[in-house]
Amino acid sequence: RRHRSQHGPHHADGDHLTFHIRNAKAKPYPLGLTLRDGGANIAVHSHAATHVDVVLFDKSDKQTWHHKLTQRDGDTHYAFVEGIKAEQRYGLRAFGPYDPASGHHFDGYKLLLDPFATAISGPFRYAAELSRHGNETAHLVPKAIAVTEQKPLPLRTLADPKLIYELNVRGFTMRHPDVSLHKRGTIAALAEPAIIKHFKKLGVDTIELMPIAAWIDERHLVNLGLRNAWAYNPVSMFAIDPRLAPGGLAELRDTISVLHDAGINVLLDVVFNHTGESDMLGPTLSQRGLDCTGYYRLFHGTNVNDAGTGNTLALDRPHTVHWILQAMRHWVLNAGVDGFRFDLATIMGREQQGFNPEAPLLQAIENDPVLSSRILIAEPWDIGPGGYQLGNFPRSWYEWNDKFRDDVRRFWRGDPWSSNNMATRIAGSSDVFANKGRPSRSINFITAHDGFTLHDLLHFTVKNNFANGEDNRDGKSHEVTCPGSKALGLLSSLLFARGTPMLTAGDEFGRTQGGNNNAYAQDNETTWLDWENRNTKLETQFADLMQLRHALSDVIADDFLTGTIVEWFAGDGNPLDWSKDNNRIIAMVLRSATRRVCVFFNGTSTATTLRVTPETGKLWHNLTGEDLDAPAQSVMVFEEVSRDEDSKTGNLLQ
């Protein structure tokens, strides 16, 4: 009952065989491995393969059995394998033409990961044999693990996020003194009381986890002695990486449950634009070996590189759309994930002619009853032709707003004409998001994982990426920096703007990466947050400002600043003259049904007094300080109160 290929490796039969292929029913099984009474259904998609084998291993990774999937329906190879039980380790081998010029990379010596596997036996590690045709790789790669289906978790009702906190799972707790050593750097650490206390102090209601799916280091990092610290190089879309969750999916599910009990949503940053198989010289691990021309976008047999990482997934095809939808549903229904941030999301809407907001994958997500109810955030660009698509994703989606990031930085740097763009950004970026009807769809941020930290953009004008081993050529060379500005001024701009604020972990207490603005390869103290030496004063100031944002929810509402609800003034108290190129002070006066509030941005190098005239019988009460002076490079918030009330109001933050 054993299949022995003429084109692939031969293996010993072993001492005994307990697995058998049984004739399948007429229709193919669901893709992946599905446990059933007496065994498992196994189904694999491949258009170009002549046949596909399933290979079984014991827990010592010794091969025990392999056989051809005997049934085929269109592009689906499938069979029922008797004797498979939960925890069974397995892999795939695909056979067909080896013709790289035509995009075919079939190699029977390559053990391949099932694209639908939800658990793996260990992490992926790069080895040269993975990239060489005809080299056996079963001893080099982790195996898929058969998992019993779980009862789907109920869907939670979700509100708009109030503060998103982007964090690197490993780097966030590797140096945290209140997290036990065995949990540091893992997903389980996020459920520790000290971590939840920090989230609650800051007012975080949504955390966004940088990628947790199984990844592989880029091949050039191995020779440099470096490791990928960010995990934006996935092999699997379903399986959690054992380095981040030794307890597997259960660890993620249990952690999310604790966070939910604390009122905190959990988003996953997912990389559906490319895989860790890289360019034509990269490792063959899964999709390339199963059906390169089916999974990837190719041009004359060569990978299209719209992701800038060596390959681009073809996400406009029915089988890839199904693959991604099932991955998303897996994270939501089996782990309790509340939504997703999509890395280089333009690729998700790419068709042959370019980006289409009604592309098959985007439409499928919008129409899915589970996924359409979750929080969906696009990083709305890639490096391909027409790749910048800010504002063009479906109406219900949120989008990272890099115009907010750059225009706010330029204002605090003092660039000419920057006050006009600054006003547009803090008013909700209606020039970009008016078609969505709500400024909350703009994810406002000053910094993200990619680029300078908040501390570093105030202290560096030139990147310092030499530790990455690429002679400082990597990373953004012309990032907008604002040396000499104050961190609190930029953080205040973030919190008193319309839109959804996002904070990158550690910026609230002055983390530094020594000027490295592309620290993806620094799985070390460069990216591990230094909790013991953090700036607790800045941290507390941020927390206070977040409380004030909540208190001002009626004037920082989810609508664009137009008409009678906003007035703009200059530093002298007169209406702002938009024709001037040097407005360094902006006073934004907001009116709700019950009060009038002034947010005062002082971008000058000296303390400045608020000179906007209050209404008759009233005066300005400072909610963020003791008087009417705004220190240099600062943001103050004032509320109009009657003269009788002022003497007994006191500072609302005290």
Is the separation of the CB atoms in 499 and 401 below 8 Å? yes
Q: Which amino acids are annotated catalytic? A: 343, 379
Query: Nearest Cα to 628, choosing from 619, 617, 615?
Result: 619
25 Rama class: left (phi>0) / alpha (psi -120 to 50) / beta: beta
Is the separation of the CB atoms in 634 and 488 below 8 Å? yes
Rounded Cα gap, residues 130 and 136, in angstroms: 8
| Helix and strand counts by DSSP (H, E) for the chain | 14, 30
Q: How big, in percent rounded to 5, are the helix, strand and coil portions of the chain?
A: 25, 20, 55
Rounded Cα gap, residues 343 and 313, in angstroms: 13
Rounded Cα gap, residues 212 and 214, in angstroms: 6
74 Rama class: left (phi>0) / alpha (psi -120 to 50) / beta: left
Rounded Cα gap, residues 110 and 128, in angstroms: 13
**Contacts for 581 with CB less than 8 Å, ≥ 6 apart:** 416, 417
Which two structure tokens, joined as six digits, stand for 465?
């990426």
Which two structure tokens, joined as six digits, stand for 540?
């507390």
Query: Nearest Cα to 1, choosing from 64, 89, 51?
Result: 64
Is residue 261 within a helix (H) or strand (E), and if so which, with residue range?
Answer: helix 248-261
Query: Nearest Cα to 248, choosing from 64, 370, 117, 55?
Result: 117
Checking DSSP bridges between strand 618-622 and strand 354-355, what pairing results, if any? unpaired
How close are the terminal C-alpha atoms of the chain, in Å?
Answer: 78
**Contacts for 454 with CB less than 8 Å, ≥ 6 apart:** 446, 447, 487, 490, 491, 504, 507, 510, 511
Query: Nearest Cα to 568, choosing from 605, 612, 610?
Result: 612
Specify the DSSP class assigned to residue 141: S
Residue with tokens 């013709």: 99
